[in-house]
Amino acid sequence: LLTLRPAPGLEERITTTVIARQDEFERAAMPHARSLLRVARRLAADGSAAEDLVQETLLRAWRSFHQFQSGTNTRAWLFRILFNAFYAHGRKLRSAPVLVPLPTPGGGAESDTAPTISPLEATAILRALGELSAEHGSVLLLVVVEGFTCREAAEILALPIGTVMSRLSRARGALRDRLEGGPHNLRAARAGTEYLEKEAS
């Protein structure tokens, strides 16, 4: 009397729904795959680990995409998942080998504008970035490289905005130390620390 068969048309309706969801996901999330990969390469041990990290990020995003509310910041949402996945894996050894292409006719780098730094300089900067702690590297990547505001970075990293600001100041100083070969701007560092301590008290 009672057979275990789906209702007529149920399979078709579900398939249609899932396909529509994938289309929406492709439109919303896939354009950010490259910037996710760019940041992941700075976080993960190597290119393969970075691809795995982005793959996991996007797959997690797909699985919870039905909960995603359109109109919210997709990019920030994806980066939040990326950092969650990164921290969930115990902050794998970072960072990736520096792979700066030699300049070729027609370009190859992602920037639309003409490069103002040499490949050698880019290599030095990336190496210095790789030497920073994960906390400092993360805020630099999010705010400076990816253009998130401090407030967005704070949400992505689940940190107070004050922490992001102080980390950003220290990360900039630490990067400059490495690029210039020594402690820079001790006055600024000292002044910043004193100010933060005063605010905290």
Partner 1 sequence: VNCQEVVHLAPLYLSGEIDATRAAAMDAHLQTCPSCLHELEQQALQDSRLREAVHSEVADDATVIRRLRESIAECKGHQARRRILSGLRRRWVAVVGAAAMLLLLAGGSWLFRAPQIAEVCADAANDHRTEIVNKEPRPWLTVPAQIAALAERQGISGGAVVTLAPGNYHLDRARLCYLDRHVFLHLVYSDGAKEVSLFLRARSGSQQNPSGTEEEGTPVGRPDVNHAHLASFETARLTAVVVSGESPDAALQFAQSVSAAL
Q: Which of residues 111-140 bind partner 1 (CB under 8 A)?
A: 111, 115-117, 119, 121-123, 125-126, 129, 140
Interacting residues with partner 1 between 9 and 48 (CB under 8 A): 10-11, 14-15, 18-19, 22, 25, 30, 33-38, 41-42
Q: Which of 73, 149, 158, 183 binds partner 1 (CB under 8 A)?
A: 149
Interacting residues with partner 1 between 175 and 194 (CB under 8 A): 175-176, 179, 185, 187-188, 191-192, 194
Smaller CB distance to partner 1: residue 8 or 71?
Answer: 8
Q: Which of 28, 62, 68, 155 binds partner 1 (CB under 8 A)?
A: 62
- Residues in contact with partner 1, counted by CB under 8 A, come to a total of 72
Q: Which of 28, 150, 163, 177 binds partner 1 (CB under 8 A)?
A: 150
Interacting residues with partner 1 between 78 and 107 (CB under 8 A): 98-101
CB of 92 closer than 8 Å to CB of 49: yes
Residues 51, 62: Cα–Cα separation, whole Å: 16
* Cα angle, residue 82 at apex, residues 77 and 87 outer, rounded to 5°: 125
Smaller CB distance to partner 1: residue 80 or 140?
Answer: 140
